[in-house]
Homo-oligomer: A and B are copies of this chain.
Amino acid sequence: MKHISRFSHLGELSDKDYFRIALSVDCVIFGFEDGELKVLVIKCNIKEYKGKWSLLGDLVRPDEDLDSASYRILKERTGLDDVYLEQVHTFGKVNRHPAGRVITTTYFSLVNIKDYQLKLNDNELHWHPVNDIKEMAFDHFEILTTCLERLREIVEDHPVVFNLLPRKFSLRELQSLYEAILNIKLDRRNFRKKFFMMDWLIDLNEYEEDVPHRPGKLYKFNQAKFGKKAKKVS
């Protein structure tokens, strides 16, 4: 056993003693509603963290790719399987889970809240405003923070946030989404200029309805410009 430990890629992994770590996947699923960035959470009911929020996760199955596990969890919880999903970080402190040694790989995803209905009876599954969350079960608050930082890095260069919006949206909605994610105010004229220059938007020649002010033009995301890359950044 010792020689396997020193030169990891030599030996057979037949000794059951090596399988004493469990592996899970946790998903940080972001949504956008009422001008706020939200995250999908459930009530935790293991005794150590009774009543605290936790992320959606599950153990990885022995016959399942790591990435597949994240898609499975997303699908099980939201019904969606065709969205942007990206691995962020793996958390592996010895005592992060009270039930035993569990290392978790985290993914984040962006979905349009209105695209489906939650089964709200499941463990109080619901969308919670990211900024209202100050603590969570396990190390999930750290995980959330890490994923939010990653999201902020990514939106600067990649057209991923369109997953958070309805198919048709106004420039104000788009800007308020960026402001919610980055937690800053942006200049309206420069914001518009930038997006038109990047050619990410298609003008639908339609207008907002039922807004208590002058209606803005509606746009859709220029999918053709990115092909599959709109979903996967890496």
B24 touches A21 (CB 8 A): no
Interface size class of A (residues with CB under 8 A): 35 or more
Count of this chain's copies in the oligomeric assembly: 2
- Given contacts A7-B122, A9-B42, 10 further A-B pairs with CB under 8 A are A5-B58, A7-B58, A7-B123, A13-B99, A13-B102, A20-B62, A21-B23, A66-B93, A67-B92, A87-B90
Say yes or no: is A152 at the interface (Cβ < 8 Å to chain B).
no
A9 touches B137 (CB 8 A): yes
- In the bound complex, residues from chain B placing their C-beta under 8 Å from that of A9 are 42, 44, 46, 49, 54, 57, 137-138
B23 touches A23 (CB 8 A): yes
B94 touches A6 (CB 8 A): no
Say yes or no: is A116 at the interface (Cβ < 8 Å to chain B).
no
Q: How far is the CA of A20 from the CA of B63 in the complex (A)?
A: 10
7 closest residue pairs by CB, A with B: A66-B92, A13-B100, A8-B58, A19-B19, A20-B62, A8-B57, A13-B99
